[in-house]
Structure formats: structure tokens, C-alpha cells
Amino acid sequence: MSARNERDVIQEPGQAAVMVERVTEFLGPDLHDLCDAAEAAISDGGGFGWLKPPPRHVMETYWKGVLLVPERDLFVARLERTVAGSAQLVRPPRYNEAQATVGHLTTSFIAPWARGHGLARMVVQEVEDAARAAGLRILNLDVRETQEAAIKLYETMGYRRWGTHPHYALIEGRWHAGHYFCKDLNGENPVPA
């Protein structure tokens, strides 16, 4: 089932049509377009872990695998109906009663050609709405220090930085720091200022 809802397409006069939806299967060109978008983001330096694009069959297997993981919800962003980015909500496994209301926002990216249309903000909003609907209270995320646009986005959406790991990512022999953020979806302050 695809959760696409045509009412969610946002198009102001003279602007590109943007929408975000949760997908539970890949229809038509969506898997191909998602791979294209991910490859473009990876080549641009923001590839949620990948440093260079993997072979296409590996990328396709990855996305198909995401849909099979019970705790993962995949959201895609569309620009003019073409998949241009995505993010995932990772809910806690059922055995983790102590963290039953804690989730992760991960693997968020928008292809370079689709940036600046508000899609990333829409994706995060959609993930937060889904998290609330799933009974989650806290969302965690982490981001490499070099991802300035993403850091700005999360800060403006109420995410609080609570820590920095100096050995977050090893890239071409050099360690990069990464920042850890969290947000209380009830609007309360999850960490001291």
C-alpha cells in the first residue's frame, strides 16, 4: 500500500509542486528515482553514511530492505511528483519497554536539484506527525558537523543539541565530529539549556 494522498500536494501559483508521503511499496519509477536522488546526495557529500554511491543493485536492495524492517517507516519527498529525497522514522523494538516512546529520525536527505523548496522541513514534519501517531514522545537524531544546512534546519525546528562526538565519522583518513540532537514532541525541554 502506498500512503499517497493527492490532497497533500502543495502548489502555490508559480511554484513547484511539493509533497511528502510514507511509502510501504515502490510503485512505477519511484525506486529508480529514489536511487537517483540518493546517488546525487551521496556524490554531493551528504549520503547518510555512504561516501560514494554503491552499485545500483546494492542501492535498490538497501531501499527494498528498509521496507521490510518492522520498526522502520520510509517517507519520500516529491518535487513535481518525482521522488527527490527521503527520511526514515525508526521506532523502538518491542522488547525495549524502557524506551518505548523514544524514536530516531535518520537517513534524511534531499537531492541537490530539489533543495530550497521546503521539502526537508516537510519531511521532518511528516516524520514527527508519524512519531506522535505511533505514541512516541522523544525523537533523536545525529548529524555530521559539516552538514550545516541540516543543522540549521533541526535547530529551527526545535531540536536541542545535547552532545558532540569527536570521532563520529572517518572520511579519507580524517575524523569528523558529529552532533547529537533530540526533541520532545510535547514541546517540553528535553535537555538543560
Q: Which residues bind ligand COA (CB under 6 A)?
A: 41, 46, 108-110, 115-121, 141, 143, 147-150, 152-153, 156
Minimum distance of ligand COA from residue 131's CB (angstroms): 15
Kindly tell me which of 100 and 160 has the beta carbon lying closer to ligand COA: 160
The CA-to-CA distance between both ends of the chain, in Å, stands at 43
Q: Which is nearer to ligand COA, 80 or 148 (CB)?
A: 148
Closest residue to ligand COA, judged by C-beta, is 46
Question: In this structure, are residues 89 and 73 in contact, taking their beta carbons and an 8 Å threshold?
Answer: yes
Nearer to ligand COA, 149 or 170 (CB): 149
**Cell numbers at 15, concatenated:** 511554484
Rounded Cα distance, 31 and 174, in Å: 33
- The sign of the CA dihedral 14, 11, 150, 45 is negative
> Closest distance between ligand COA and the C-beta of residue 141, in Å?
6
Rank residues 100 and 121 by Cβ distance to ligand COA and give the closer one: 121
Least CB distance from residue 72 to ligand COA, whole Å? 15
